[in-house]
Amino acid sequence: MSIPIIEAHNLTVVYGRKPALWNVDFKLPEKQVIGIMGPNGSGKSTLLKSIMGVVKPTSGFTRVYDQELEKVRHKVSYVPQRQEIDWDFPASVWDIVAMGRYQKRGLFKKLTSEDKDIVTDSLEKVNMLGYAKRQISQLSGGQQQRVFLARAIAQQGDLFLMDEPFAGVDIATEEMIISLIKDMKDAGKTLVIVHHDLHTAQSYFDHLVLLNTRLVACGPTSEVFTDQILTDTYGGRLTTIAKISQEMENKEFPMRHK
Amino acid sequence: MNFWEHITTFFSAENYTLFVVSIGSGILCFAAGVVGTFTYLRKRALIGDVISHSVLPGVTIAFMLTGVKNPVYFLLGAISSGLLSIWIVDYVQAKSKLKPDTILALTLSVFFGVGIVLLTKIQHSGNAAQSGLDSFLFGKAASMGMLDVQLFSVIAVVNVLCIWFFLRGFSLVSFDENYAKGLGFNVSFLKSFLALITVVTVAIGVQAVGVVLMAALLITPAAGARFLTNSISRMLLYAGAFGFLSGVVGVVISYSGTGMPTGPWIVVVLSVFALLAILFGKKKGVLARMRLRNANNIKINNENVLKDVYKIAKDGKNTISINDLVDQEKYAIAKLKSILKRLENDNHLDQIRGLIILSDKGRLAAREVIRKHRLWEIYLSKYFQLDADHLHDDAEGIEHVITPEIEKELIRLLERPETDPHHSKIPY
């Protein structure tokens, strides 16, 4: 592997007493489509959030392009989970996608006509230009997801972190997103995608991270998408980890004795 | 003296005090409306209540420490205890398993309880300066001193300018906090700054309407404004305008009679504005939705009657007797007559001496409805495996909903079918 685009070292995130991620270690290659998979509550979203600096790690760290996130943040576009947002917010589709330009312009500078061209292009890429003036509460789930993608594209980053972009979208949108992802990969972008559907995993991803609070496996899809590893991730003995986490939370055990 | 005379006296120079007080209250309520828009959008309506009740101990402690009724000291005390209450709410929420509503209710009552205890203590202390301190409970806009009003107005204007300056940041944080963090913005600064502005606004607003009604001043304008617009800058503008008008009108009304309270009147006027917005709001308002439902009913009735006329008249003819329709016993006669009248006015048909003559326009419209009905039946039977006898009822409702775009899509999807599941021809 050349320089890893994302590296996690001993990454541990604890909410209250409950570990969401536990000593996770991995390196991800550049210019690939990478899937992050695991059962519900296995820390997939938390992983993306800690890479983005949204959640502070309890211990350990992550690096992007072998640097601190702050130095390369402008290269990273984040697509949060659509369901975490209240879409009954007074804003149009255009307003939301324009947020993708805020990083470049900061909190106070006006958007230039170049920015507006970029917003227009991004909307066109996800087939939503006709909806630019639409109030966001009127969008379907698939359309909301397209708007979030357009916003990330408008950031013009090289690395895309997407949290469940396929959750609750229609087939047309799923096909559109996957072809967009292929195009982006061909253009040299790296995509890290939280995903939950095992059936499509093999066709969508070059590389997989399998999580169940701890890292179960990380490697090329052809190597890690095996029955054994999937059983380890989704069922069987590793759910012990869930019981331990619950026990730590209930009885307020510390992660490390100081 | 009648109301009009009041208005003229009100704006004359003799009544300078009241003029200033009403404009001052207007500005306070304007600021509360603007700042409260973000409280509303962040779904923190109850936080407004917590802050306003929590300023009371701050005010009383400020008085106990200084022994004078100075608005600056009161303001500092109010702001400190308001901020403390927010900090406690956030801290307990992060560290405990208590539910947010429990935390809010507990914080509110503890602060307010302490405030009332201190207030009672002061009132029984025999300090002559204390009289009027209890006006913090229900506000005292009408008796506010000129200096108070000027001081508060300046602070309110500064607050609104801050909101205007940080509009982008505050909107971003209110809509999608995680994304804002992902972009690298200092979200905790933005949130604290917004909290500070809110506390300061509440601290001065309390002087006008009192702690009990302050939350209404913060939330009601935004709730009303939301029904009028889908743009955040316009929402801020409307909420501010609601606030300002209520402040001015509330003071004027309370002045027009003896012994009428100011704060409650401001809140009553504000509620009337909000109610009007909810009723008459262009898109989401109650009346707009009633109009929409009414228009839908008209469309459904028109299309159903046209369809029936077309079906009875078929075989190339276009004339039927009105009795044929009556005999179906689908419609009450009076209703049928009004529907036919409407269709005649739209040139869909003509009525002469008990006969109904379908025009070309009416004919096309009828065929369109029948086409949509049958296309929908095919779609249902193809994709949802419904039995043939369940198709009709469903299509009877959906035929009115299908737009030209959806119809095109159906035709493409079904590859322009010739007959429906009941072997009837599709009229293209």
Q: What is the pLDDT of residue A73?
A: 92
SS3 B294: helix
Which one of A102, A134, A140, A159 makes the best mutation probe of the B interface by having the most chain B beta carbons within 10 Å?
A102
Q: Which residue has the higher pLDDT, A99 or B379?
A: A99
Cross-chain Cβ contact A90/B229 below 8 Å: yes
Which of B339, B358, B377 marks a domain boundary? B358
Summarised one tens digit per residue, pLDDT across range A55-82 is 999 999 999 998 999 999 999 999 999 9
Does one domain contain both B201 and B238? yes
Q: What is the CATH number of the domain that holds B229?
A: 1.10.3470.10
Query: What φ, ψ does residue A64 adopt, rounded to 5°?
Result: -120, 130
Residue A134 class from Cβ within 10 Å (0-12 exposed, 13-18 middle, 19+ buried)?
A: middle
Does one domain contain both B265 and B367? no
In this predicted structure, the answer to whether residue A1 has a pLDDT above a threshold of 70 is: no
The predicted model gives B215-230 an average pLDDT of: 92
In this predicted structure, the answer to whether residue B240 has a pLDDT above a threshold of 90 is: yes
Map out the domains of chain A as residue ranges.
6-251
In DSSP terms, which residues pair with B82 in a beta bridge? none
Cross-chain Cβ contact B181/A73 below 8 Å: no
Closest CB to B41 among A53, A89, A99: A89
Does one domain contain both B131 and B251? yes
Structure-token pair, residue A97: 């996608």
Domain presence at residue B423: no
Closest CB to B172 among A80, A102, A155: A102
Cβ of residue B385 closer than 8 Å to a chain A Cβ: no
Does one domain contain both B390 and B402? yes
Q: Put the strands of the sheet holding B349-352 in their side by side order.
A: B319-321, B355-358, B349-352
Cβ of residue B176 closer than 8 Å to a chain A Cβ: yes
Q: Which residues contact A108 (CB under 8 A, 6 or more apart)?
A: B165, B168
CA B158 from centroid of its chain's CA atoms: 26
Q: What is the pLDDT of residue B107?
A: 95
Cross-chain Cβ contact B231/A90 below 8 Å: yes
Summarised one tens digit per residue, pLDDT across range B347-359 is 998 888 888 888 8
Structure-token pair, residue A173: 């949108």
Q: What is the pLDDT of residue B12?
A: 62
In this prediction, what percent of chain B has a pLDDT beyond 90? 38
Q: What is the CATH number of the domain that holds B300?
A: 1.10.10
Q: What is the pLDDT of residue B236?
A: 95
Cβ of residue A101 closer than 8 Å to a chain B Cβ: no
The predicted model gives B228-245 an average pLDDT of: 93
Summarised one tens digit per residue, pLDDT across range B121-167 is 888 877 766 767 777 787 777 777 788 888 888 888 999 999 999 99
Which one of B178, B236, B413 makes the best mutation probe of the A interface by having the most chain A beta carbons within 10 Å?
B178
Which of B284, B308, B341 marks a domain boundary? B284
* CATH of segment(s) A6-251: 3.40.50.300
Q: What is the pLDDT of residue B128?
A: 66
Cβ of residue A108 closer than 8 Å to a chain B Cβ: yes
Shortest Cα–Cα distance, A198 to chain B (Å): 26
Does one domain contain both B116 and B260? yes
Q: What is the CATH number of the domain that holds B367?
A: 1.10.60.10
In this prediction, what percent of chain A has a pLDDT beyond 70? 95
B-chain CB neighbours of A53 within 8 Å are 181-182, 184
Domain span at residue B335 reads 288-358
Cβ of residue B126 closer than 8 Å to a chain A Cβ: no
Least confident interval from A31-45, A136-150, B15-29, B121-135: B121-135
Summarised one tens digit per residue, pLDDT across range A142-199 is 999 999 999 999 999 999 999 999 988 888 889 999 999 999 999 999 999 999 888 8
Cβ of residue A84 closer than 8 Å to a chain B Cβ: yes
In this predicted structure, the answer to whether residue B381 has a pLDDT above a threshold of 90 is: no
pTM of the model: 0.80
Does one domain contain both B164 and B297? no
Does one domain contain both B73 and B166? yes
Question: At A36, is the pLDDT very low, low, confident or very high (cuts 50, 70, 90)?
Answer: very high
Does one domain contain both B38 and B147? yes
Does one domain contain both B353 and B370? no
Q: What is the pLDDT of residue B316?
A: 66
Q: Which residue has the higher pLDDT, B35 or B5?
A: B35
B19-33, B78-92, B387-401: which is most confident: B78-92
- Which residue of chain A comes nearest to B190, CA vs CA? A107
The predicted model gives B78-104 an average pLDDT of: 91
Question: At A237, is the pLDDT very low, low, confident or very high (cuts 50, 70, 90)?
Answer: low
Domain presence at residue B24: yes
Q: What is the pLDDT of residue A29?
A: 93
Under 8 Å between Cβ of A178 and A197: no
Q: What is the pLDDT of residue A232?
A: 79
In the DSSP assignment, the letter for residue B350 is E
In this prediction, what percent of chain A has a pLDDT beyond 90? 66
Q: Which residue has the higher pLDDT, B129 or B106?
A: B106
Domain presence at residue B110: yes
Q: What is the pLDDT of residue A116?
A: 95
Question: At B3, is the pLDDT very low, low, confident or very high (cuts 50, 70, 90)?
Answer: low
- Which residue of chain A comes nearest to B41, CA vs CA? A89
Q: What is the pLDDT of residue A17?
A: 77
Does one domain contain both B110 and B208? yes
The rounded mean pLDDT for chain B is 87
Cross-chain Cβ contact A135/B184 below 8 Å: no
Which of B335, B358, B381 marks a domain boundary? B358
In this predicted structure, the answer to whether residue A204 has a pLDDT above a threshold of 90 is: yes
The predicted model gives B22-47 an average pLDDT of: 92
Cβ of residue B230 closer than 8 Å to a chain A Cβ: yes
Under 8 Å between Cβ of B66 and B122: no
Cross-chain Cβ contact B230/A78 below 8 Å: no
Domain presence at residue B419: no
Domain presence at residue B409: yes
Number of domains in chain B: 3
Does one domain contain both B338 and B385? no
In this predicted structure, the answer to whether residue A238 has a pLDDT above a threshold of 70 is: no
Q: What is the pLDDT of residue B126?
A: 73
Does one domain contain both B21 and B55? yes
